[in-house]
Chains A and B, each alone.
Chain A
Amino acid sequence: MTGLALNIRSKVYPGGVETLRDCQFSAAPGEFVAIVGPSGAGKSTLLNIAAGLDRDFDGELVRPPSRPSKGQGLSPSALSFMFQEPRLMPWLSVRENIALVLSEPKTHDAAIDRILRTMGLQDFSQAYPAQLSGGMRRRAALARAFICQPSLLLMDEPFTSIDAPTAEALRRSLLDLWGEQRPTILFVTHQLTEALALADRVVFMSARPARVIFEHVCALSRPRDLDLGSHQAIADSLLMAQPGLLQGGLLGQLQGGPAR
């Protein structure tokens, strides 16, 4: 089984802005990769390309195939995408939102019940998104992402703008579901501690045009402490060695962009 392999020689938007250049990385099957980089650097563009939403780029993309063990009638898609906003359909109940992405929802009632319970949403299955808190809406979006047993899950800063305890509970659920199903995950975040707490490997991107400048393997054992504060020390030591890391530059080439 292959994982994800991305090789983007260049991605230029119609306006002429080059967002990605010589950006390449891969992820092993079941690997949890976090992507960190300066805002506006093209992390979302990268996810859109990986998702197949954006096909207008120069390069190659290999995505993991649909898992062979996947149940019948789940979904024709091998990937799930959790966006920055939950993007639930406001006119569908929580349950209907989850069932929406299944090709034969009626045969998977039990699976929907199970994931609703796992997410603590069993009492809200008939509620509409407008009746839920921000944290619960994200729980529903997370349930929708996992119900179709994806082999690749793309996440674009999914836990921003919610309070810390809620975010921590969501991270816990994410890791539980990932442990159960083992999809390859690409998790974009601007919070280094969040990346360190969750991922097997953290990939750092440069400023625009973005490429991979640095990788850090998180050797911590699992299950992990998901309180982001406890990962501050590792983040600090990384930033001590490479102060410009989050701005997208390594020592000695902060202004220069890609060294050639």
Chain B
Amino acid sequence: MRESGARLGSLLALLVAWQLLAAAAQSLTLPTPWAVTQVIVQQASSGDLWLNLSATLARVVASFTIAMCVGVALGMWMGASKTTNQWLDPLLIIALNVPALVIIILAYVWLGLGEVAAVVAVAVNKIPVVVVATREGARAIDHALMQVGEVYRLSRWRTWRHIYLPQLYPHLLSAGRNGLSLVWKIVLVVELLGRSSGVGFALANYFHDFDVAGIFAYTIAFTSVMLVFEALLMRPLERRLNRWRA
């Protein structure tokens, strides 16, 4: 209760500070919270808000899923095999350092200005980060526990499911968490550059008109969606996986 009180208080303080600043500035480039709320309501009733939110959310989910699957598999492989790691590590470092924008532009050039290019561009941006986190976990596997599986001749599946994977969960969780916030930020850039729907597309239009209220409206709407996602999915999942910790 105390904790949620503090969370609420912090948000309220932000809101008050914003209102005071906006009232003092009296400028179109810093609209008041009320003006922004009006835009949100207007966008919601016209249906545009839901259209754009769902388009962006679909891209986030698709690219996040692809990135996690590919990244986790590669990370496990690199963590388990020295040779694989030696071969893939230089490529990983390059991938980590290529600017997101370059990957997005190349994806659009090579795959065409379509949905596939958008999702692939985001996933490719995200995969190296997942690989690094998973590899870290796979390297820290406790061989003493793996030996238990070996001695009792557990099947590969049981060993993997009950001895290996649980040791990776903390790393996968943090990869997923950091991943989600990274993914949705890149999705907006992808939409801004080459899609005609989504939050990024809406932001591009508002930017064109220097309409800061619209920009705020979409930022708040989408951030809220991601917070709900975090509260309803990520945090319960984390609690479940950590319940054994005393």
Contacts and interface: CB of A to CB of B under 8 A. Distances in A.
A51 interface: yes
Task: Give the interface SS of chain B, mostly helix, strand, loop or mixed.
Answer: helix
Interface in B130-162: 144-145, 147-148, 150-155, 158, 162
A75 B244 contact: no
A48 to B, nearest CB: 9
Given A85-B144, A100-B158, A100-B162, A90 B152 contact: no
A152 B222 CA distance: 61
A52 B147 CA distance: 11
A91 B244 contact: yes
Contacts of A77: 151-153
A92 interface: yes
Contacts of A195: none
A138 to B, nearest CB: 14
Interface string A67-99: 000000001110111010101011111000000
A83 B143 CA distance: 13
Contact of A89 (B150, B162, B241, B246): B162
A35 to B, nearest CB: 18
A183 to B, nearest CB: 14
Most buried by A among B145, B148, B152, B244: B152
A81 B152 CA distance: 8
B70 to A, nearest CB: 26
B6 to A, nearest CB: 29
A51 B148 CA distance: 11
A100 B246 contact: no
Contacts of B148: 81, 83, 87, 89, 101
Interface in B149-204: 150-155, 158, 162-163, 166, 169
B245 interface: yes
B202 to A, nearest CB: 44
Contacts of A87: 144-145, 147-148
Interface in B14-73: none
A103 interface: yes
Nearest to B166: A91
Given A77-B152, A130-B246, A89 B163 contact: yes
Contact of A76 (B147, B153, B241): B153
Contact of B153 (A75, A85, A130, A131): A75
A53 B152 contact: no
B154 A83 contact: no
Contacts of A53: 147, 150-151
B151 A81 contact: yes
A148 interface: yes
A184 to B, nearest CB: 15
A258 to B, nearest CB: 31
B237 to A, nearest CB: 14
A51 B153 CA distance: 11
A128 interface: yes
Contacts of B154: 100-101
A128 B150 CA distance: 22
Nearest to A82: B151
Contacts of B246: 128, 130-131
A148 B148 CA distance: 13
A152 to B, nearest CB: 11
Contact of A90 (B147, B150, B158, B244): B244
B140 to A, nearest CB: 14
7 contacts: A75-B152, A76-B153, A77-B152, A83-B148, A100-B154, A100-B158, A130-B244
Interface of A: 51-53, 75-77, 79-81, 83, 85, 87, 89-93, 100-101, 103, 128, 130-131, 148
Given A75-B152, A128-B246, 6 more contacts: A89-B163, A90-B245, A91-B241, A91-B244, A92-B244, A100-B152
Q: What 6 pairs between A and B have smallest CB-CB spacing? A: A130-B246, A77-B153, A101-B152, A128-B244, A81-B151, A91-B166
